[in-house]
Structures are given as structure tokens and as C-alpha cells.
Amino acid sequence: MKPDELRGHLDALILAVLEKEALHGYAIMEELGKLSSGAIDLPTGTLYPGLRRLERIGYLRSSWSTVGGRQRRTYELTSAGRRALADERSAWQRFTSVIGAVLDPSATHT
Amino acid sequence: MRLWFRRLRDGEARGRRLPVDHYVSELERVLRGPSRMRADLVREVRDGLTDMADALEDDGLVRPEAERAAVLEFGTVAEVAPGLQRELSFAQGRRTGWLLFVVVALQMAAAEIAWRNDPLAVGPSVRLSEGYLCLADLMDKSQYVILALGLAAVAAFGPAGRWLPAGTGMVRAGGLFAIVAVVFKSIIAIHLVALVPGMMAQPLTLGGAAYQAAVFFLPVCFVMASGWRCLRVGGARLRTA
């Protein structure tokens, strides 16, 4: 998937990746690739403005910590970020069920 | 030490810069904004690139090739810098909002103390005109508006962004407002002092001048400088190579 296809969903993807544990930028991108089986193909650099924006609006908090013997800025979800992720999940489920019903009507009757 | 040997081997020590260093320097050159945050962003980008290059090197590439591939995968400076610049602009907007709020609150408190204790202003024989009282009232109200808008800027360029998406044009507008607000407030303040009968005949002591500089003149300069930076970073056109 290319950046244009992911537009509007990157925030939710970042929040979902950070749901389990605090990670630094490169580890977040690796995890995104792993979870999507390599289908998400973003320029890594586009992740950093997204992380800073989510931190600015209070969905993430960050701190410098030692990872593998090196100092790395790691990000973790705040409680507002967890609520936002839950909202994103519900919105996504509604969206896919509505669009799925239209694109593949037979699936809803089986 | 290992890194130093690697770089020596790869030619950096002979004057050639490796791709990550070159990329980070270029990014640092084009970004504008609060220096601490800018340094922090650049350091984070360098770390991300280094992690990528290390992973590629572990996969078998030699260091310069690994760094070149990492830089390619990262995205060009022209692709990455605008998003980072946007965050730096908002940081400058927040900073200016805080500064405006703190400076105006401090000056309001200082003016209130002076007003209540200066015999020329509150003595029994003092007769202030209707126009003077109107000007004082305008000053009070405008200061409350400035305080409210300073806090609104802090919120808009910070957590309120989740409900009200802000643009960099708003950072420019905020900077312009900060400059106009402190100039307007200073002009009224000078008039309020000068129009008190006998006030201008008072000798200016060294201590009084230092107090005026510390509480009124310098803070106004700081706000104007921060507002000016908002105008610059909010409208920054990134000149990438």
C-alpha cells in the first residue's frame, strides 16, 4: 500500500502499533511492516511528523530511553490515545460493514 | 570505537561525508523553529536513519551502501521536512502564546501594585479626567482579551488540535497578533503614565529605570521577537537542495 492509500489512517495505525508497548520510530515502522506482512510501504521519514503531531494533541507521550545500549526517543500511548484508538476501531468497523454491504451484498446474506 | 573504525574504513575520515550525515545536515539547514525542539527532531531522524542503516548492514551491505539505501527508504528531505516544519511552527506558536500570557499577566500585576501605591495616582488630591478613566478601562479590557487569546493560542497549537485542526497560517496570525498586542498595550500604558498630573516631572532613578526595563521594556521585546519568529516559521518556504 502506498502513502496515498493510507492517508487518514496513519494515526490509527501508529496508535494500534503502540497499544502493547512503548517503541521508538524505527521499531514502530518495523512493527507496521511486520503486522501488515510488508504491505504497508511508507517512506520511513513520514512517520516522524505523525508521531510529533500525535504527541502534540496528547495521544502519545515520549521520552528518551536506552534501547539496545543507545538513547532513543520512545513513544507510548496516553489514556486519551487509548480512547482515540477505541474510537478509530469502532469507526473502521462501521465503515467496513457499510461499504462491504454495498460492494458485496451476497456476503451479508450468508 | 567500532563506529569510528567503520567510518575510517569507509572514507569519512578522509573528508567524505556519509549519506546519513549529509541528509541530516540538509534537514537541519532547511528547518526553522525553536532550537531545542529542532535539535531534538534532527537527532531523532539521525537515530532512525542509523537504525535502518545498521539493519541493512547486518543484512550484508557495506556501510556507505547501507546508508544510501536507508536514506532512499526514508524519503527525500523535500518529502519529510514539511511535516516536521509544521510541528516546529506550532511549537513556536505555543511558545509565543505562553510568553504573551505570562508577560501581560506580570505587567498587569506590576501596574496594579504601582497604581495602588503611587501617591501621584491615588492621593486625596488626585483628579483624573473622564477620558483618562475610559483609557484605563480600555487598557484593562484589552489586557484580559490578550490573556485569553494567549491561552487560546497555547491550546490551539497544542492539545486542542485534536478537535480544531490548526494551520501554519494561524501561527503567522498569532505572531502578528502578539506584536500588535504588546505595541498597542505599551502605547496606552505610556499615555496612562504620562497623563497622570505631575508624573512626568518625577526624576527617573537608576533603580526605577532598571525596574521599567526588566518589567516592561525587555519582556515586550521578547514577545515581539517570538511573534516575529512565528511570522518567519509559519511562512517558511523550505529550500531543499
Mean of the per-residue pLDDT values for chain B?
88
Count of alpha carbons within 13 Å of A7, Cβ hemisphere only?
3
Are residues B98 and B68 part of one domain?
no
Alpha carbon separation from A106 to A93, A102, A110, B223 (Å, rounded): 18, 9, 7, 64
High-pLDDT (> 70) share of chain A, %: 90
> Which residue of chain A is at minimal alpha-carbon distance from B165?
A57
> Which residue of chain A is at minimal alpha-carbon distance from B44?
A73
Distance (Å, rounded) from C-alpha B146 to C-alpha B148? 5
Give chain B positions within 8 Å (CB) of A50. Answer: 83
At residue A105, the pLDDT reads 79
At residue B120, the pLDDT reads 66
Which carries the bigger pLDDT value, residue B85 or residue B195? B85
Residue where a domain terminates, one of B47, B75, B103 = B75
Q: B85 to chain A nearest CA, in Å?
A: 9
Provide the angle, in degrees to the nearest 10, between the axes of the packed helices B35-58 and B19-30: 160
Assembly ipTM:
0.85
At residue B13, the pLDDT reads 46
Question: Does residue B104 sit within a domain?
Answer: yes
Are residues B220 and B119 part of one domain?
yes
Class of the domain covering A3-103: mainly alpha
Give chain A positions within 8 Å (CB) of B45. Answer: 45, 48
- A82-100 pLDDT, tens digit per residue, is 999 999 999 999 999 999 8
Contact B80 A45 (CB under 8 A): yes
- B16-48 pLDDT, tens digit per residue, is 678 999 999 999 999 999 999 999 999 999 999
Are residues B216 and B104 part of one domain?
yes
Average pLDDT (B171-200) is 92
Are residues B220 and B117 part of one domain?
yes
Question: Does residue B39 sit within a domain?
Answer: yes
- B86-95 pLDDT, tens digit per residue, is 999 999 999 9
At residue B177, the pLDDT reads 97
Average pLDDT (A51-74) is 92
At residue B1, the pLDDT reads 44
**Looking at the predicted structure, is the pLDDT value of residue B180 above 50?**
yes
Full domain range(s) for residue B58: 2-75
